[in-house]
């Protein structure tokens, strides 16, 4: 018998679960595993929910480890991440997560209404093609108002799939399908909008470089390898 073909691993940080799926070169599903998760409510802020980055990574690592164990001698040729839209993570200069939310987080309703009243929401829609009800502009204003120390310490902004990539490689990047769900993107330019960043009041420098889908941005680190079972050096 010939050698088993390589597989390509997709990691999905979904609303209700973390999933790992291995596909062959023809796009056929070889095996998959999942870990369900829930998002804790924010006391004192109706509708608010938090994304648990430590628990989330444990769930992702568990699902990936299960898939890797099932693959046996089959090699994982590359890894890519996807996620629920709108959820994002703020990290400090050392890469430690400071604040994270899933797409279910609704604590910034008042801030969203303010952005509508000020006309900022109209500009967000014209440029980014999205509303402000559960996207980053309102949530960032909420953080500035309720947790200003967090925003002051933030040096990296990333959507949840970007965070998975960072956990795997240490790299801070985004790609248009993910980054655009922030409502801070210029859809025509396929890049962050300096104008929207200014209107929302955030430092443009915390927004990561934009790469195209399929571009290799790094490799699985030794630390991520120990957690997931993926060989260190696997392209991501």
35: helix, coil or strand?
A: strand
Distance CA 235, CA 78 (A): 5
pLDDT tops 50 at residue 114: yes
Distance CA 6, CA 71 (A): 10
pLDDT digits (tens, 9 = 90+) for 45-96: 999 999 999 999 999 999 999 999 999 989 999 999 999 999 999 999 999 9
For residue 190, CA distances in Å to 80, 142, 193 come to 20, 26, 9
Distance CA 153, CA 91 (A): 8
pLDDT digits (tens, 9 = 90+) for 5-53: 899 999 999 999 999 999 999 999 999 999 999 999 999 999 999 999 9
Residue indicated by tokens 């209404």: 113
Average pLDDT, the chain: 95
Averaged pLDDT for residues 104-118? 95
Answer for the pair 160, 89: CB distance below 8 angstroms, yes or no. Answer: yes
Q: What CATH number matches the domain at 7-228, 1.10.287.3240, 3.30.420.40, 3.30.70.1400, 3.30.465.10?
A: 3.30.420.40
DSSP 80: E
Q: Give the up-direction half-sphere exposure of residue 172: CA atoms within 13 A in the CB hemisphere.
A: 19
Going by pLDDT thresholds of 50, 70 and 90, the confidence category of residue 3 is low
Domain residue ranges in the chain: 7-228
Rg (CA), the chain: 18
- φ and ψ of 49, to 5 deg: -135, 150
Rounded to two decimals, the pTM is 0.95
In this structure, of 31-40, 130-139, 186-195, the range with the lowest mean pLDDT score is: 130-139
**Range 51-59 contact pairs with CB under 8 angstroms and sequence separation of 24 or more:** 51/87, 51/89, 51/100, 51/101, 51/102, 51/105, 51/160, 52/100, 53/89, 53/97, 53/100, 53/163, 56/13, 56/18, 56/100, 57/167, 57/227, 59/17, 59/18, 59/35
Q: What percentage of the chain carries pLDDT values higher than 70?
A: 99
């Amino acid at each position: 018998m010939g050698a088993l073909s390589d597989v390509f691993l997709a990691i999905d940080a979904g609303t209700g679960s973390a999933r790992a799926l291995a596909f062959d070169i023809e796009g056929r599903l070889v095996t998959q595993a999942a870990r369900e998760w829930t998002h804790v409510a924010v006391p004192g802020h109706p509708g608010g929910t938090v994304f648990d980055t430590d628990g989330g990574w444990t769930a992702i690592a568990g699902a990936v480890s299960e898939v890797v164990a099932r693959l046996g001698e089959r090699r994982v040729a590359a890894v890519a991440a996807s996620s629920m839209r709108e959820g994002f993570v703020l990290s400090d200069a050392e890469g430690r997560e400071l604040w994270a939310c899933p797409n279910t987080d609704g604590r910034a309703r008042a801030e969203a209404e303010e952005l509508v009243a000020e006309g900022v929401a109209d500009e967000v829609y014209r440029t980014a093609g999205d509303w402000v009800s559960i996207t980053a502009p309102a949530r960032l204003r909420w953080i500035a108002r309720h947790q200003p120390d967090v925003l002051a310490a933030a040096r990296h902004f990333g959507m949840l799939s970007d965070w998975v990539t960072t956990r795997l490689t240490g790299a801070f990047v985004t790609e248009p399908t993910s980054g655009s769900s922030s409502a801070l993107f210029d859809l025509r330019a396929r890049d962050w909008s300096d104008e929207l960043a200014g209107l929302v009041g955030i430092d443009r420098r915390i927004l990561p470089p934009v790469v195209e889908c399929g571009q290799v941005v790094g490799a699985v680190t030794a630390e991520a390898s120990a957690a997931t079972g993926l060989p260190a050096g696997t392209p991501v």
